[in-house]
Structure 1
């Protein structure tokens, strides 16, 4: 890797990324370099590091590293940001972005707003994946005393990456951080898990906070918002469309009945540009 690599700093509803164009030049940081770059005091600071790479089957391939240096399958808010960049560059009305979690399509939805087709949710216990067979509408997992758990029976959904969603009105930092960090590496989840805390405000409105696997508490989690809507809808708590109110703004999630796909619409913001030195 060269000493200086140009980047664009972007965010989607506050979930922030350093995005590197690796279409013509390989970008292969190791875990230590990713962690150093992610540090908000001494590095560039981000939730995820993104590389846009060539693809033989799509317009581009999006590679994702979490702040802890680990590579992950996909990131919903980053898909909007990368989609916006590719749409700006190509002038077309849609682009296909491949990820380790599978391909997605991004389209314009207005000024600095992008809709991403996140595909169908994966709902079988093997697809999450879970370590043992369970009904993913409400899995056997709880936090707190056995006879009086604080949160329990979350829904489990994969949106190309694993999620559990607890329904609770307890959304304070200490609770989300404490519970999320406890569950992230629970043995029930062989690949770890993203942990959502959803408070249903109305049949079409959910307040959501997410403890992200490998990134911690973020201002927004796009796949988490999709997973929360699917989990809520499967339990009959909401319809198939809802506004997800996250720390960094709002995301519109639509679990389309006809196609079975989940569509996420939300904002994209460019913060600055710069160069990475490694």
Structure 2
């Protein structure tokens, strides 16, 4: 075998190893995300049925895990899984994602934004696991604090308003893509039976629609905070979910949304198993 052939073989082997590591990171990250969404949805269901003792957000989910046997081990596993999620998104930003349009600039920038987001989430979970950080701060406190600081800078109202509109648009985009089943192109559908595919569609459509609705509602509250110059009107995940129970539909709307959040967690598990990476 000549030198060039040997070099090509080494590059192929290295590429295969990197691909395997990226797949493992993606599947660990999607599983960790699924755990958090399932727990948040369950906590929201408890709120709907009168038990509001726990925050229905990431901090509440982490506190719930910490109370379980081997809770510290589970928290570390969750944090490491989310690090894998950030690494996967970083690889998409650097090398491109799977699919014909995976190397487009828009896709890479979106992957970079997701990488930064999941890196922050992983840091907060690992901080909570060690007890050395603010990973347990509620989403409502964080939202109000960030909004207050943003409103205090020059053109703060416009900045908060623009971000809020972006969150609303993102929520609508998430929901519409879920209802249109755009996720099909990312799944290895040929490996699923017809019955399993139907179950995945129920979780994907219902979960994605609920997630999009929550995003859009949180963005609407942030927009109201910007217009009124009232940072206390911004809401995190917990307060946003609770607000659904204050509508004319009462707690039953919260039940539906919370069930959808659980479905999105289950859909994340399906992605961990069948997503193309």
TM-score bucket (shorter structure): under 0.3
Which structure has the greater CA radius of gyration?
Answer: 2
TM-score by length of 1: 0.27
* Greater helix proportion: 2
TM-score by length of 2: 0.27
Higher RCO, Cα 8 Å, sep 6+? 2
* Greater strand proportion: 1
